[in-house]
Structure formats: structure tokens, C-alpha cells
Amino acid sequence: MIIRFRSNQGIHRIECNSDELFGEILEKWILQTNKENIDLDSITINGISGTNREAKCITNQSIKSLGLNHGDMLIIDYKENQATAKKLEESSHLTINKNIETNYVAPTGPLHVKELEIDIELDKLDGLIKRKRSSLCRHGDKGMCEYCSPLHPWDKEYQKERNTKHISFHAYVKELNHHTNKRSNGSSYIPPLSQPNFSISEKCPSGHEPWPAGICSKCQPSAITLQQQNFRMVDHVEFQQSSLIDEFLNSWRSTGMQTFGILYGTYQRFDNTPLGIKAVVESIWQPPQHNEEDGLTMDMNIVKEELKHVDILANQMGLLQVGMIFTDLTDAGKGDGTVYCKRHKDSFFLSSLEVIMSARHQLNHPNISKYSEQGYFSSKFVTCVISGNMKGEIDISAYQVSAYAEALVRADMITGCTHPSLAYINETTSQRYVPEIFYTKKNKYNITIKENAKPAFPVDYLLVSLTHGFPKDGTKPKFSTVTGFPWANRQLIGDSQDYHELKKYLYPVIISNNYDELQEKLSNFHLLLYINSLQILDHEEWLILVGLAVNGDQSMLLRLITSPGWQTLVIILQESM
């Protein structure tokens, strides 16, 4: 259903269902207004049973219990203040994205109610592609014509010239917005994005019993046609240093067992494509896992618990989960370090099981967007595979799955298949209704045809491929040191994190009073997590350590080494073997 909000920002149409909390739809409205300085305590709502109410008193009530109906108009009034960003995070009334599946890896750490900085930055740019004067131009130096005027960031010809399959997310949003809200002076704004939802609605507007007791043309999900997604949420994955990959691969090198890791980093501008975004990977954290030669398993309850903790600490270092990475490597047995090439265009790139795993992770890391009617759209979580390329070299490939893949998985419509390039479509049951599903492809005469996707279809239709690389311009990574101190959860290869290792790594530089080297050694993700786990530093001392080690703030050095916590740590190291 739609609830309309009228304020001095105009009219906003918010899509919701009757079980949603008022706080949740208020969040969506705040995102759409794009106003950051609304004083949440001051919001009043007129139009609920004819009275004027304070919003903060009804955030935990459902739309249904407030007696709101489809199309209702609420008049919203508020005051502005200076420090709202902080309040939004602290406010206990407001919750967001409660309905995201949490059965895989739960969204951890503080939820992002606000769009990421990178999205706010790119939103302000027009992304126009400048062109030089061409030989067809018939005007003077200051003139401009159809051959030299700037192109839209989503320009199809430009894309074709550069041979790219995908435009960037922000180019895509700008294109949709251009068509949806053309010169919409005054008329009501329509959010250009909508997260596809293939689940059958639990409350049909016609009022009949929910599925499987009833279904009608209003609530029956319509047929789905799968197409390759023409945009990507993230364009490129950049590993800040090659030693990250090297050290990650050491687990496989020394045991022959496959391994899995979470990528921590940031999202930044990627100027190779108009309005592009890159995921910049600063560190890799391997959760507890049972590694085997042909794959691995994880106890997700343990992983979730540990990740929750690592996320909070990573956040304090200015990092968030940007994706995951895993190996699929088998030595070719030639004694020259080459590996089998298993993944190529005639086999598969990501298996159907991996596509489903990626979709679950993406659902757990929603991309907050004010341009979406739900307040979020798809995800910026990336999936990287390390496997053999056509030359038998160890190589990285980076992917995401499409917004349609997320919706198929969320509605429980597909299952992995023993044939890795195919996904099976599930049968309709009392729990789910599976409509007709088609996919389009070119036949041998190069004509686009629609194929029925049942019982199975190629998972390539759900994949989006990304480029990857290492920084070219010598950007300084957040962490100076990747190796030297053991990574967490690597007992399999005989690595463990303990006082002995800590002393070996840190004590020589502590007693030599070489502060530059000390700072460099402290700037190590895994070391920092380990020091935190010892609980010797108090919270303030920990933040001083992070300031020095991650942000390079040298004014923190003296404060750290004179702090009681640090001095206790040094004494423990001194006395340990």
C-alpha cells in the first residue's frame, strides 16, 4: 500500500505494508526528503484519526494498528537542528530493514540508516561525458553542436565504443530519474528505483485469506523474465596491496585446502567509468572454518557471533564489510605452480550454489538509497573467486549477482544444482507461489527469443562481472603491515595468535624505542584485533591505538605509550616466554 506524506518538502509517496512499523515508513520518508537536519523529536503527524500526534510516540506501532489505509495523506511537520546525523544513529525508536533475511550472515555492526558518503558525493555530480571538437563540427572554438556536446553518463554509443556491458549504478539511477521525473516541477515525485519482490503478499487488498488458502489476480506474482542486468552497483574491486592476496593464499599453498574470507574496506570513486564506484579492500578476515580440498563448511552461528564483534572494531577503524573472497584451486601437478582452469565460458563462472550464497550476503548488506521506494536497493557486497585462468595461472575474478537474483533467493524460488551452471526453479508449495519464469536469449539466427526457465536455467543470467586490480598511483594503504603477525583462525596451517607471537612481533621494537617502526608494526589489522581481544587496553586507550595505527595520527604515540593499559601490556610481554 501507499501512504502519502505532505510536508514543506512536497508530497512523498511511501510504499509499505500494513504490518510495518510507523518508524520504518518514517525512515523511508526521511531518506526520500534527503534532509539531514530533521530534529526527530520534533516531528508531528497530522491525519491519524484526526489528531495531531508526536511521531516519537507512535514509531513502534504498526500501520494497521494506527488505522491507516492505502492512499492516506499525513501532514508532517518538523523542526530542523544541527546534529541530527548522530541522533539518527542513537535513536532507539527507529529501526530499518527489519524484514531483510538474516538466515545467513546477519547484518552486523551499526546499521547504515544513511546513504554512504560515496553515494552522497556521486549524487551531486552530473557525470556528463565531455567530448572534444570533432571533424564534423562546423562552428567556431566557443560553439557546440550535436557532435561535440557532452553525453549523458548512461550513453549507449559511448558504452558500445568502450565495449562495456554495464553502466555504473549512479549513471543508471540518473537515467531512470531522467525518464521518470522529467522536469517534474511541482508534480509529485516518483522514486525511480524499486527493489524487485517476488514473494506473494501476505495481505491481499481484496481481503481474502493469504496463500495457500486464497489467491487472486491482485496478489498473484506476475511472470518473471530474467535478463542480464545492464548496470552494476560496484564497478571495480581494488586490493590495496598484493600481499593481502599472497597471505590469504598461504593457507591453500601450505595445505591444499580451500579457504574463505571476508573483505573489509571502503567504497570510493572509480573514475574509469562515468560515476563509477570501486570497493577498496584493506584487509581480509577468515572466519572459523573447516577447510577441505574440494570446498569448506562453516558453523554460521559461530561465524555470525565473531563477525558481529569484528565488524564493530573494523567500523572503529573506518572500515566495513565490502565483500567476500574464496579459493577454488587445484594444483595442475606439473611442478611449475600452475593450477587447473575450472571456470570458463563453457563451464561456469560462479556455480548456482555460489550465486545463491552471494545473493544471501547481498540481501544482508542492503544498499541504502533515497531513490528507492523501499529505502534500499540491491547491494554493494562483492564476491571474489581465486581460481585458475586459461593460462593455468592463479587469478582473481570479481562478481555481484543481480537485483533479480536477490529477489529470487529471498522468495525461495531457486535451488543449487549438481550441474554448477544451472539453477533449479522450486515448485509452488503452501509456503511459496512460483509464477512462470522466462529468460531471453539469442537463437542461432541471432534473434532474441524467450525460453521457459523451468525446470532449470543458466545462472549466468544472474551474474554481473566486475573488474579488479591493485592501485596504480601508489595510494597509501590503511595498514602498513599485512604479514609478520599471524592472521586469525589459521590453526589449520599451524598459525596461532598468542603472547609468544605477540612478543616475537612487537617486543624488539618496543625495547629499541624505534617509534617509527613501532607505528608501522602496530598498523596491522590482525594485530589490532588480537590486542583488543586481550582486554588489557580500556576503550579510550584502544581508540588512541587505532588513531595511531590506522589513521597515522602521531600525536597519539605519546598518549599510547604512557597509558596504564599499554604499560601493563609491555610488562606482560616482558615476563612472558
Residues that bind Zn ion (CB under 5 A): 137, 145, 147-148, 204, 206, 216, 218-219
Rounded distance between C-alpha atoms, residue 268 and residue 380, angstroms: 12
Residue 133 Cβ vs Zn ion, minimum distance, rounded to whole Å: 6
Taking the least distance from each CB to Zn ion, the nearer of 204 and 385 is: 204
What is the three-class DSSP state of 509? helix
Taking the least distance from each CB to Zn ion, the nearer of 206 and 483 is: 206
What is the three-class DSSP state of 334? coil
User: What is the enclosing helix (H) or strand (E) of 556?
Assistant: helix 555-561
Taking the least distance from each CB to Zn ion, the nearer of 210 and 552 is: 210
Residue 144 Cβ vs Zn ion, minimum distance, rounded to whole Å: 6
Taking the least distance from each CB to Zn ion, the nearer of 147 and 507 is: 147
Closest CA to 373 of 57, 32, 142: 32
Residue 208 Cβ vs Zn ion, minimum distance, rounded to whole Å: 5
Decide: residue 252, CB within 10 A, 0-12 exposed, 13-18 middle, 19+ buried.
buried
Rounded distance between C-alpha atoms, residue 379 and residue 383, angstroms: 11
Residue 532 Cβ vs Zn ion, minimum distance, rounded to whole Å: 53
- HEC-encoded secondary structure of 56-92: HHCCCCECCCCCCCCCCEEEEEEEECCCHHHHHHHCC
Residue 201 Cβ vs Zn ion, minimum distance, rounded to whole Å: 8
End-to-end CA distance of the chain: 66
Distances (CA, A) of 513 to 102, 519, 551: 48, 11, 21
Residue 216 Cβ vs Zn ion, minimum distance, rounded to whole Å: 3
Residue 67 Cβ vs Zn ion, minimum distance, rounded to whole Å: 22
Neighbours of 164 (CB within 10 A): 15
Place of cell 608501522: 520
Taking the least distance from each CB to Zn ion, the nearer of 148 and 298 is: 148
Beta strands in 115-259 (DSSP E): 167-168, 224-226, 231-232, 236-239
Report CA Rg, the chain: 26
Residue 199 Cβ vs Zn ion, minimum distance, rounded to whole Å: 13
Residue 433 Cβ vs Zn ion, minimum distance, rounded to whole Å: 11
Taking the least distance from each CB to Zn ion, the nearer of 205 and 508 is: 205
Taking the least distance from each CB to Zn ion, the nearer of 435 and 484 is: 435
Q: What are 281's strand-pairing partners?
A: 239, 265
What is the three-class DSSP state of 464? strand
Neighbours of 98 (CB within 10 A): 11
Residue 202 Cβ vs Zn ion, minimum distance, rounded to whole Å: 10
Residue 161 Cβ vs Zn ion, minimum distance, rounded to whole Å: 18
Taking the least distance from each CB to Zn ion, the nearer of 299 and 436 is: 436
Taking the least distance from each CB to Zn ion, the nearer of 206 and 554 is: 206
Taking the least distance from each CB to Zn ion, the nearer of 25 and 219 is: 219
Q: Which amino acid is at 452?
A: N
Instruction: Give exposure, 320-341, as e/b (b: 16+ Cβ within 10 Å).
Output: bbbbbbbbbbbeeeeeeeebeb
| Contacts of range 427-433, beta carbons closer than 8 Å, 24 or more positions apart | 429/212, 430/211, 430/212, 432/199, 432/200, 433/200, 433/211, 433/215, 433/220, 433/221
| C-alpha 220: how far from chain center | 30
Taking the least distance from each CB to Zn ion, the nearer of 44 and 201 is: 201
